[in-house]
Structure 1
Amino acid sequence: MPCKPAIASMSVGRAWVHSLPEKLSQIAQAGFQGVEIFYEDLEYLAKEKGEPTEENLLAAARETKNICNHHGLEVIGLQPFMFYEGLLDREVHQQKIAKLHTWFKIIKILGTNIIQIPSNFQPDGISGDLDLIVSDMIEVADLGLKQEPPVRFAYESLAWGTYVSTWDTMWEIIQRVDRPNFGCCLDTFNIAGRVWADPASPSGKVPAADAVLAQSLDRLVKTIDVKKVFYVQVVDAEKMEQPLVPGHPFHVDGQPARMNWSRNARLFLYEQDKGGYLPVVEVARVILKELGFEGWVSMELFSRTMADPDPSVPQSHSQRGIRAWQQLAKELDL
């Protein structure tokens, strides 16, 4: 199966300025075949009907699925099932499990079988005990296996995760969970943004960045079973003109620099004119060529530009995304 281009829903965690129907329309017109659905987009649609009850969330999912069908878009997954693993308050853990059952209903309506779980980045209230994290992941995986069709979980190591911030730790957890429906999403930003880049550094890089990344990618190819890679996200980011430290416009007290960088300053590939500087193409080449991944490749974007109320934003971002995919596909001969 050749790589198929997808684009993440045009959402950011802090603002829903543009409607989901318009975003989906522009994504399809740009030429994308699939889309990741962001849960908060569904929640926003549900709130238009009143409270975001399960009934209203399912109605929002049906509306979204109808729009996707109209535009010929396949939903590749629902994300992000956040702040799940390693919770110290087990009552909150049970609340997350109850919410997961609603997610099972949502994805069945959307016609996908993938739920993405990003690594937990809460600053407190969570444990770094891998035994607990693995136990939590086995619980959701086993619940997913009971669904019809079985639900797959794509675990993603966020570059600013409190305890799981590298693909290496993520992979150790996946191996220990050892369930056929529990795999990962590999994200070029989170890989390069953790081991190669440092937005708080004047250089924008960690010491010996190129060597560290080369070693990481060499291990990745030798370690990860490509069958456990459920989809791939490809994205770049801006080099900060000034280090992202206190006093920087993106700095938020108590939040990791990489998280605020991610939320405000991601870019599509080949946008060096906008400040893009990560070795994204090299990371993508390793995943798509050396590792041999075939499947959905998502042009995911989070950026302050998404909050621009200009009505042309969905179209311009969709066009930027498809250009990035087309150029990557050409360069890597996909």
Structure 2
Amino acid sequence: MVLSSEQQLFSPAVPRLQSSTTTKMPISRASLNDIPLSYASCSIGCGPKDTLPRRLEAISAAGFTAIELSFPDILDYGLQLTGESISPVDYPKIISVAAEIRKLCDSHRLSVMMLQPFSNLEGWPKGSTDREEAFARATGWMEIMNVVGTDLLQVGATDTPEPAISCDREVIVADLRLLSDLLAKRKYRLAYENWCWSTHAATWKAVWEIVKAVDRPNCGLCLDTFQTAGSEWGDPTTTSGLIEDVSQSDLRKRFDASMQELATTVPAEKIYLLQISDAYKVSPPLENKTLNELRPRGRWSHDYRPMPYDGGYLPIEDVAKAVLKTGFRGWFSMEIFDSGPKGDGKKYDMGPFAKKAMDNMQQFLTNCATE
């Protein structure tokens, strides 16, 4: 894989309709052979016996070469090692645990591609305790990044509701610019992601406009097939599983136009990774209200996200094709939260499950090729 100068600087059922998206760049299958493949550590396992060491073993055996390391996994492994819960702000202990995780990864020939998920950074009032705590947390997470050997921090577009946070674009941009500058001192990067239930940036275009405004060489995008299709195509609160403010034909046209815009306006070097997952069509639909502090799309994201070709219905290939048409050939990372079609749990053996995830990822790449 050839890296850009920027990457070198900062690297360490609803039927699926065919897209009419036009091509900025053809996608040959051969060009996808060297795409590096990662797996989010938090998105495999279905019980307390599926510990982090066993998860890493399954991920490595399936052929993935890196993980997205989840912060809650660090805390959980700390409990396993010490028998005591670790405070999420006790960074000396957390860093000690992270060092042990680095050793585990090394033993399984896995690198840590990214630390995630950093949430609710931007938009807090200046001088507020919440803002101070958010940036203190960022400083602590940078120490973890140093120990585990990653240069990439995922930041999800905040889902704290107004008026607790401001959605003023200048405030959002200023906060992310400050974080980018702090990360740049260590030659670290910020991967900004649209969460489809975000308060202020639920779509790929919303986060891209923010990243452009931040205007820092180490601030780019974490794109996600679920988050993109889940914000612009699907809706877990409708019987059809689709957004219903327009007809299905108009929805298709609108979605195709969005993917065309992504393919032709986002530079490949500003995309740091693409996360891969699908979604179940929820039946009966989720109630259209906030429960346990989660909006419907947030609940959908947490429990109803299978791997490709395992029961989902979103046009995830269209999202990946749009990303690949930019020329991007960086990380594809499996991030699935599969609690079954009813969201009430799913039992499986991690070894075969991880192998199936790799097989389906390869099929996904094949299906995304256009020549």
The TM-score normalised by the length of structure 2 is 0.82
Specify the SS of the correspondent of 2:121.
coil
Residue 296 of structure 2: which of 257, 275, 280 is its match? 257
Give the number of aligned pairs: 323
User: Contact 1:17–1:309 at 8 Å: present in 2 too?
Assistant: no
Aligned partner of 1:262: which letter? S
User: Contact 2:223–2:274 at 8 Å: present in 1 too?
Assistant: yes
User: Contact 1:117–1:155 at 8 Å: present in 2 too?
Assistant: yes
The separation in 2 between residues aligned to 1:194 and 1:29, in whole angstroms, is 34
Q: Does 1:73 align with 2:121?
A: no
Shift of 1:307: 8.6
Q: Does 1:6 align with 2:48?
A: no
Shift of 1:283: 1.2
Q: Taking structure 1 as reference, are residues 181 and 287 closer, same or farther at Cα in structure 2, changes over 3 Å only?
A: same
Corresponding residue for 1:245?
287
Shift of 1:18: 2.4
Cα shift readout 1:211-257 (whole Å, capped 9, x = no counterpart): 1210111111222111111111111010112221169xxx7265321
The separation in 2 between residues aligned to 1:118 and 1:21, in whole angstroms, is 26
Q: Taking structure 1 as reference, are residues 246 and 142 closer, same or farther at Cα in structure 2, changes over 3 Å only?
A: closer
Aligned partner of 2:356: which letter? R
Corresponding residue for 2:229?
192
Shift of 1:209: 2.5
Specify the SS of the correspondent of 1:80.
strand
Corresponding residue for 1:29?
61
Shift of 1:270: 1.2
Corresponding residue for 2:129?
91
User: Contact 1:39–1:80 at 8 Å: present in 2 too?
Assistant: yes
The separation in 2 between residues aligned to 1:102 and 1:299, in whole angstroms, is 26
Shift of 1:309: 8.7
User: Contact 1:265–1:302 at 8 Å: present in 2 too?
Assistant: yes
The separation in 2 between residues aligned to 1:103 and 1:11, in whole angstroms, is 20
- RMSD of aligned C-alpha atoms? 2.2
Aligned partner of 1:225: which letter? P
Q: Does 1:138 align with 2:138?
A: no
User: Contact 1:17–1:307 at 8 Å: present in 2 too?
Assistant: no
Residue identity (%): 32
User: Contact 2:259–2:318 at 8 Å: present in 1 too?
Assistant: no
Alignment of 1:78-227 (within 5 A): 78-88=115-125, 90-124=128-162, 125-147=164-186, 150-206=187-243, 207=246, 208-227=250-269
Shift of 1:317: 3.1
The separation in 1 between residues aligned to 2:345 and 2:284, in whole angstroms, is 23
- Where structure 2 has 5 or more consecutive residues not aligned to the other structure, the ranges are 2-33
Q: Taking structure 1 as reference, are residues 237 and 211 closer, same or farther at Cα in structure 2, changes over 3 Å only?
A: same
Shift of 1:315: 2.2
Specify the SS of the correspondent of 2:272.
strand
Shift of 1:88: 2.9
Residue 277 of structure 1: which of 279, 299, 313 is its match? 313
Q: Taking structure 1 as reference, are residues 96 and 17 closer, same or farther at Cα in structure 2, changes over 3 Å only?
A: farther
Aligned partner of 1:38: which letter? S
Shift of 1:28: 0.4
Aligned partner of 2:284: which letter? Q
* Greater RCO (Cα-Cα under 8 Å, separation 6 or more): 2
Specify the SS of the correspondent of 1:236.
coil
The TM-score normalised by the length of structure 1 is 0.90
